[in-house]
Structure 1
């Protein structure tokens, strides 16, 4: 089970990891994180960067070591990582790598209520999803090929994982689509009939909860 952390926003981990390299001010931190595509690795809300850095300082994970002024721009506070900040970053990374945690996925939310749609429409929607997934996979693979000529694989493994997850999803979606289209998906006939005859979803749910769905679906 994941620990409750003093600063639990994953943006905080990205900040700590960046400050391991050298002290930076917030504008430099934002530029470095954007340049490295951290917003594709985690859910980052850039507007919360100021608050995250403040909270890291409050809990002793970073400390102010000075400030600088560039021309007429406002003075910029420079932060560096503390020993406790490094320990927090390392412990957090160990947890993320070792401990699976349930993660919400928009597709899963759609699957949980897909019975609202007729199966033939779902087949068409899955075709669209498969096409988009395959396009995304191809684009990401091409980008990885380009980047690995310049960047060590150690700094690309999160991109590899992303492609692996998309590929697994595309394979599963294609299998579901084929089951629905071929009629081998269990009870797809009743699913189709429920929409054709406009059987209320509440009635179908009552069948499932009452244990009579299988009998009704086979009638």
Structure 2
């Protein structure tokens, strides 16, 4: 049976990409992810997931142990380097992730699909809290962009922050409009409608009769 192709993930791609620059130990990888602002798009808060990813990449031959050293702060540091296979795989993953939109299942659309569990006034209050959180995030992204631009680095190093700001601004505008519609009564539903939906077609309440 042929071996399966290495499985891509944002964290795995980032590990391979950082090792393109120089060999690193896991702590160095984690530090660079944070220093370069990549924690906005890659989750390295749980160090265990980083170590699991490194172990998998090593087992798949995409990275290799360069050396193992010791110092006073850390009893043992394994330094990894990217292999030729890792370079080729990282490029293939990158091209696929950039070119082909992936069908994903984030939490927010799933929650919206079940908004009928709340009444309109409740939904307005909850989504209003999301408006506040999105506005705060948007301010943070704008500040991050300004700081990154101030470092004199080329724009390509800020593209993920630009993208997150654009997506956050679009979501904020949409959620605000929904909250306005809820509070103005332009978007509404009743307990009777919910009861009819719950009854289902067998009770004569099919979609065309509600």
Q: Same fold per TM (> 0.5)?
A: yes
- SS of 1:184's equivalent in the other structure is coil
- SS of 1:64's equivalent in the other structure is strand
- SS of 1:156's equivalent in the other structure is helix
Cα displacement (A) at 1:99: 0.5
Equivalence for 1:182 = 184
Number of residues paired by the alignment? 205
For normalisation by structure 1, the TM-score amounts to: 0.82
Cα displacement (A) at 1:18: 0.6
Equivalence for 2:40 = 40
- The whole-number CA distance in structure 2 between the counterparts of 1:174 and 1:213 is 31
Equivalence for 1:18 = 18
Cα displacement (A) at 1:178: 2.3
- The whole-number CA distance in structure 2 between the counterparts of 1:127 and 1:13 is 36
Relative to structure 1, the CA distance from residue 42 to residue 48 in structure 2 (aligned partners, 3 Å threshold; closer, same or farther) is: same
Equivalence for 1:157 = 159
Q: In 2, are the aligned partners of 1:9 and 1:52 still within 8 Å (CA)?
A: no
Equivalence for 1:31 = 31
Q: How does 1:141-156 map to 2 (within 5 A)?
A: 141-150=142-151, 151-156=153-158
Q: Give CA-to-partner distance per residue, 1:9-50, whole Å, 9 cap, x none.
A: 432111101100011122222222232233321244421222
For normalisation by structure 2, the TM-score amounts to: 0.85
Unaligned stretches of 5+ in structure 1?
Answer: 215-219
- Is 2:50 aligned against 1:49? yes
Which of 172, 175, 181 pairs up with 1:173?
Answer: 175
Q: In 1, are the aligned partners of 2:70 and 2:76 still within 8 Å (CA)?
A: yes
- The whole-number CA distance in structure 2 between the counterparts of 1:161 and 1:139 is 14
Q: How does 1:1-219 map to 2 (within 5 A)?
A: 5-44=5-44, 45-71=46-72, 73-150=74-151, 151-185=153-187, 188=188, 191-194=189-192, 199=195, 202-203=198-199, 210-214=206-210
- The whole-number CA distance in structure 2 between the counterparts of 1:144 and 1:28 is 24
Cα displacement (A) at 1:5: 4.4
Relative to structure 1, the CA distance from residue 67 to residue 174 in structure 2 (aligned partners, 3 Å threshold; closer, same or farther) is: same
Unaligned stretches of 5+ in structure 2?
Answer: none
- The whole-number CA distance in structure 2 between the counterparts of 1:208 and 1:108 is 29
- The whole-number CA distance in structure 2 between the counterparts of 1:64 and 1:193 is 62
- SS of 1:199's equivalent in the other structure is helix
Q: Which moved more, 1:123-132 or 1:92-101?
A: 123-132
- SS of 2:8's equivalent in the other structure is coil
Cα displacement (A) at 1:200: 6.7
